[in-house]
Amino acid sequence: MAFLDSDSTTTRIACAQLTLRIGEPEANRAAARDAIERAAAAGAEVVVLPELTNSGCIFHDAAEAAAAAEPLDGPTVADWTAAARRHRLVIVGGLCERDGDGLIRNSAVLVDQTGLRAVHRKAHFFGGEQEFFVAGDELPPVVETSVGRIGVMVCYDQEFPEYVRTVVLRGAELLCVPVNWPLFPRPAGERPSEVVRVQANAAVNRMFVAACDRAGTERGVPWTGGSVIVDLDGFPVAGPATEKSADLLLADCALATARDKRLGEHNDVLGDRRPDLYRSVTTPLEEAR
Amino acid sequence: MAFLDSDSTTTRIACAQLTLRIGEPEANRAAARDAIERAAAAGAEVVVLPELTNSGCIFHDAAEAAAAAEPLDGPTVADWTAAARRHRLVIVGGLCERDGDGLIRNSAVLVDQTGLRAVHRKAHFFGGEQEFFVAGDELPPVVETSVGRIGVMVCYDQEFPEYVRTVVLRGAELLCVPVNWPLFPRPAGERPSEVVRVQANAAVNRMFVAACDRAGTERGVPWTGGSVIVDLDGFPVAGPATEKSADLLLADCALATARDKRLGEHNDVLGDRRPDLYRSVTTPLEEAR
C-alpha cells in the first residue's frame, strides 16, 4: 500500500453535512448520493455522512423509527457501496437499521469499493433514543482500508473518552463519527461543546477525527451543524461548519502520521498511559452496575 | 455545611498564575504568599497555584531538583497552611517535594484551615521529568473540604481522561490542577490545546476544573500562561489567561451543582457509561505492559 511508503501521503477526507427530511427516505438517499458525488468530484477519498442519514432522527414513536429502518442489504447501503466502487471511496454513514434479528438500531456503516466492511451499533444513547433503538454491545469497529485504519462510532459514543481509547488502542488513525448534535445555547464566541470534545479526543490520542453533523431544523429541533475535521494536535483543519446549511468540508490528512504517538523527545500519548492505575478503580457506582 | 442547603451557593475560585524563578525558593514562596493574600482579599475561598511553585521546573540535573526539594513539613507548606488558617482558604499548589523516603517528587498538596489534607505525586511525566522525579503510583486524592469535594492532579496527569474519570467517580466537584504548560505553536485564533483538554474534561464529567499555569520564560522555555477555570458545560468562566504575565483569575462556581450529572431529561454523563465495554479491552499494547 502506497501510504506505507511515506508519512507525508495525504488522504482527502470529506464531511458532507446535510439537511435531511424525516419521513422522506428517498429524498434523503438522493441528498446523500448527491453529496457523495460532489465529494468525489472534489477528490475526496473518505466521505463521512451524518447520523441516521436515511431516516432523520426526531421520531414520534417506535413505530415510526421501525418503519424508517432498512436492512444492511437495503437501498441506502446499496447506494453507498455503488458510489464507493465507482469512485474508489471509503464511505462512513449513519443508518436507521433493521438488523438480522429484526431489532431497530442506530448504526453506522463503513463501505468501500469491496462492499460493506463494518457496522457499528450506537452503544450510548442520547435523549429518548432507547424508546426507538436497541443499543449495541460491542466495541467500535476499526477497519483496515486502502487509505489507513478507520474507527467508526456514532455521536454520543464519542463523549466517552474510554470508548474512544478502545479504537486508538486497536490502531485507528482516523475516527469517523456520524452525528446529530442538537443545538444547545453557548456563550458568545465559544465553539459548540461537542466540537471541543472532538478536539480533545484527537489531541489526547494523536488521531484524526472527522465528525459529520446535520444542518437545519427537524420537528422543532435545530441542529448544531458543527461538522469538523481535526488533526493530531486537536486543531480543526476543516470547519467547524455552521448550523445554517448543508456544507462540504474537505481536508487533506496524512493518516499514517497518526501511527506515531510520540509527543516530543520523551513522550508517547499511549506509552505514557498507566493502565495499572485506571484498572484499579472500583467505585460504588461501578459496583452497583 | 451551608453548601448542602442550596445548589446555588457559590464558591469563589482563584487561579494565581505566577512568574517563578528557578534557584530562588524564597522569592517563589514570597510570590505565592503575595498572590494568596491578593486572592483572599478578592474573596477567594479556593486558591490554585502552579506546578512546582517552590522550585521552578527546568532543572539542569537531578542534583538541582533534589536541592530544591523540601518535605511536607517544610517552609512552603507551612506558608500555605498559615495562610489557609488565616483566611479560611483551601489552597492547592505544586511542590518540589522530598518525601519521607528521601525520594524527589513532583507533588501537589491540598491544605485548608485544619492543615495538610492531601498530597498527590504526579503519575504521568512530561519531557525529561523522570530524570528528576519518582512517579506516583496512586489515584489522585479527592478531599472533602468545607466548600465541596476537590480532586487534585498535576499537569500532564489531566491529559489522560481515564485518570480524570477516577476523581469524578469518587465524587469530585472541582478538579484543581497545578500545571506548567510549555508554550507550543498553535494556529492563529486557537486556544492552547491543553486548555481544550481541560474544557473537554469538565464537560464529559460535568465537573468544574481550575488549572493554574505559569507565566513568563524559564531557561529558554516560554510558558503557555493559559490558566483557566471551566464550568460543567466545558466553557471557561475565567481565563484563559495569556502567557505574558502573572494574573489572578477569579470565578464564582456553584460546586454542588457538579453532583448532578444529568444532561437533560434522559441522560447522565456517569450513568450513561458502559464500563462493561471498556473493561473488556485487552489490547496488545496493554498486554505488553
Look up the CATH number of the domain holding residue A36: 3.60.110.10
Please report which confidence band the pLDDT of residue B38 belongs to, taking 50, 70 and 90 as the band edges: very high
Q: With contacts defined as CB-CB under 8 Å, which chain A residues touch B277?
A: 123, 137-139, 163, 166
Instruction: Decide if B278 and A233 are in contact by the 8 Å CB cutoff.
Output: no
Beta bridge partners of B209: B175, B230
The pLDDT tens digits for B216-231 are 999 999 999 999 999 9
- What pLDDT was estimated at residue B289? 32
Task: Answer yes or no: is A2 within a domain.
Answer: no
Instruction: Decide if B285 and A270 are in contact by the 8 Å CB cutoff.
Output: yes
Task: Answer yes or no: is B34 within a domain.
Answer: yes
- What pLDDT was estimated at residue B7? 60
Q: With contacts defined as CB-CB under 8 Å, which chain A residues touch B137?
A: 276-277
Beta bridge partners of B13: B46, B251
Inform me whether the C-beta atom of residue B191 falls under 8 Å from chain A C-beta atoms: no
Q: Does residue A279 or residue A112 have the better pLDDT?
A: A112
Overall domain count for chain A = 1
**pLDDT, average across residues B270-287:** 66
The pLDDT tens digits for A185-211 are 999 999 999 999 999 999 999 999 999
**pLDDT, average across residues B34-47:** 98
Task: Answer yes or no: is A283 within a domain.
Answer: yes
Residue B3 has pLDDT above 70, yes or no: no
Beta strand extents in chain A (DSSP E only): 11-17, 46-48, 90-98, 104-112, 115-121, 142-144, 149-152, 174-178, 208-212, 217-218, 221-222, 228-230, 236-238, 247-253, 262-263, 267-268
The residue range of the domain holding A33 is: 7-288
Please give the biggest Cα pair distance in chain B: 56
Task: Answer yes or no: is B1 within a domain.
Answer: no
Give the span between the Cα atoms of B231 and B91, in whole angstroms: 19
Please report which confidence band the pLDDT of residue A275 belongs to, taking 50, 70 and 90 as the band edges: confident
Give the span between the Cα atoms of A84 and B5, in whole angstroms: 59
Please report which confidence band the pLDDT of residue B183 belongs to, taking 50, 70 and 90 as the band edges: very high
Q: Does residue B163 or residue B283 have the better pLDDT?
A: B163
**pLDDT, average across residues A244-269:** 94
Task: Answer yes or no: is A118 within a domain.
Answer: yes
Instruction: Assess contact for B36 and B16: CB atoms under 8 A.
Output: yes
- In angstroms, what separates the C-alpha of B82 from chain A's closest C-alpha? 33
In degrees, to the nearest 5, what angle opens at C-alpha B70 toward C-alphas B68 and B71?
165
In degrees, to the nearest 5, what angle opens at C-alpha B197 toward C-alphas B192 and B201?
150
Task: Answer yes or no: is A1 within a domain.
Answer: no
Read off φ and ψ for residue B155, nearest 5 degrees: 45, -110
Task: Answer yes or no: is B132 within a domain.
Answer: yes
Give the span between the Cα atoms of A241 and A214, in whole angstroms: 10
Residues 6+ apart with CB under 8 A from B226: B181, B191, B192, B194, B195, B211, B213, B239, B240, B241, B242, B243
- What pLDDT was estimated at residue A281? 43
User: CA nearest B72: which of B53, B91, B49, B97?
Assistant: B97
- What pLDDT was estimated at residue A242? 81
The pLDDT tens digits for A104-136 are 999 999 999 999 999 999 999 999 999 999 999
Task: Answer yes or no: is B255 within a domain.
Answer: yes
Residues 6+ apart with CB under 8 A from A221: A57, A58, A182, A183
The pLDDT tens digits for A23-69 are 999 999 999 999 999 999 999 999 999 999 999 999 999 999 999 99
Instruction: Assess contact for B96 and B55: CB atoms under 8 A.
Output: yes
- What pLDDT was estimated at residue B275? 87
Give the span between the Cα atoms of A134 and A162, in whole angstroms: 21
Residue A265 has pLDDT above 70, yes or no: yes
Cis-peptide into B240, omega within 30 deg: yes
Strands A90-98 and A104-112: antiparallel
**pLDDT, average across residues A142-169:** 97
